[in-house]
Amino acid sequence: MTSGRWEERIARAQHLSAKHTFAAELLKFYAHVASAQKQVYTGVLAACGDVRVRRPAGKLREELDLTILLPEMRGFLGMIGQYGPTPLAGAARELAGQGSEAWVKLLTTWWAAPSDGNTAADAQRKFCARAILTPYAEYLAEHTEPPVLEVMPRICPLCGVRPLLGVLRPEGDGTRRTLVCSLCATEWNYGRIGCPGCGEGSETNLAVYIAEEVKQVRVEACEKCRAYIKTVDLSKDGHAVPMVDEMAAVPLDLWAEQKGYRKLQANLLGM
């Protein structure tokens, strides 16, 4: 990935925010976040170099260079304080006031065990950690030799975190599905049919739902474990940027929630 990928995400967020009123506010905020993430990514790239190295499978998170991230932290939190929704902005300002010792603790704890937080306050602090660590994780993944996969794993083969979404790409007469890691954005092949939550492969237990407003995104839900993910179908919209289109497809989350499914992994904005 190059920093151009961030530009692509920002442009797509701006495009979709003008098109979908139901997601306009969150996409506008995301565009600010992605632009700050691009800056972090560029800094990491400058400090660590553009070389691909071999890293043991699943161990990406054993590495964490805070000397690159900490100097970015104040500016990053300032951006969230300025553009974030009210409670999150407040949490970012509070965190900014706590200084580097608190930041080290937050970043190392979250990196060791990424999670979404149990209370609203916890979730807001974890959002800040995830948002600044994502470009670092993407840098590491992009600069690691791709792992050789003998099975189709349900968690990221590089960093061990759950997938955020699926992507369908045209291939031959049909489409091929991959999963995208919710932290380092690594993409790996996963069968066309099959629940990424529990591995269920029987079509009768797998439901697909598409909403009129966002036709390029679908919900794939599992009757067995009740988990769902959203999959972005690039054969329906070649301009889609999976991570951003997933975020924009809010009506699908509402549908899934109504049906009692739970999302396998929340996106950066907590949906």
Site for Zn ion in 18-57 (CB under 5 A): none
Q: Is 223 left (phi over 0), alpha (psi -120 to 50) or beta?
A: alpha
Q: Pick from 88, 222, 243, 252 the residue near Zn ion by CB under 5 A.
A: 222
Applying CB under 5 A, does 200 fall inside the site for Zn ion?
Answer: yes
Q: How far is the CB of 157 from Zn ion (least distance, A)?
A: 8
DSSP state, residue 18? H
State how far the Cα of 229 lies from the Cα of 206, in Å rounded to an integer: 11
Residue 229 backbone phi and psi in degrees, to 5: -130, 165
CA distances from 213 to 208, 210, 236, 246 (A): 16, 9, 13, 13
Given the complex with Zn ion, which of 200 and 253 has the nearer CB atom?
A: 200
Per-residue interface string for the shown chain with Zn ion, residues 62-101, x marking contact by CB under 5 A? ----------------------------------------
Q: Of 116, 122, 140, 159, which Cα lies nearest the Cα of 40?
A: 140
Q: Is 1 in the site for Zn ion (CB under 5 A)?
A: no
**Is 186 near Zn ion (CB under 5 A)?**
yes
Rounded distance between C-alpha atoms, residue 112 and residue 201, angstroms: 31
* Closer CB to Zn ion, 151 or 238, in the complex: 151
Choosing from 224, 239, 259, 262, the residue that interacts with Zn ion (CB under 5 A) is 224
Name the minimum Å distance from CB 183 to Zn ion: 5
Q: For Zn ion, which is the closer residue by CB, 95 or 158? A: 158
The residue type of 81 is: G
Q: How do 187-189 and 174-181 pair as beta strands? A: antiparallel
Alpha carbon distance 158, 181 (integer Å): 9
Residue 87: CB minimum distance to Zn ion, A: 28
User: Of 48-56, 71-79, 192-200, 252-260, which segment contacts Zn ion by CB under 5 A?
Assistant: 192-200
Site for Zn ion in 155-174 (CB under 5 A): 156, 158-159
> What SS3 state is found at 59?
coil
By the rule CB under 5 A, 245 interacts with Zn ion: no
Min separation Cβ 226 and Zn ion, Å: 7
Q: Please report how close the Cβ of residue 251 comes to Zn ion at its closest, in angstroms.
A: 22
Judged by beta carbon, residue 123 or residue 179, the one nearer Zn ion is 179
Residue 206 near Zn ion by CB under 5 A: no
Give the number of residues written for the chain: 271
Task: Tell me how far apart the alpha carbons of residues 69 and 47 are, in angstroms, rounded to a whole number.
Answer: 11
Q: In angstroms, give the least distance from the CB of 1 to Zn ion.
A: 13
Q: Applying CB under 5 A, does 251 fall inside the site for Zn ion?
A: no
- Distance, CA of 19 to CA of 15 (rounded, Å): 7
Instruction: Report d(CA 144, CA 137) in Å as an integer.
Output: 11
- List residues binding Zn ion (CB under 5 A): 156, 158-159, 181, 183-184, 186, 195, 197-198, 200, 222, 224-225
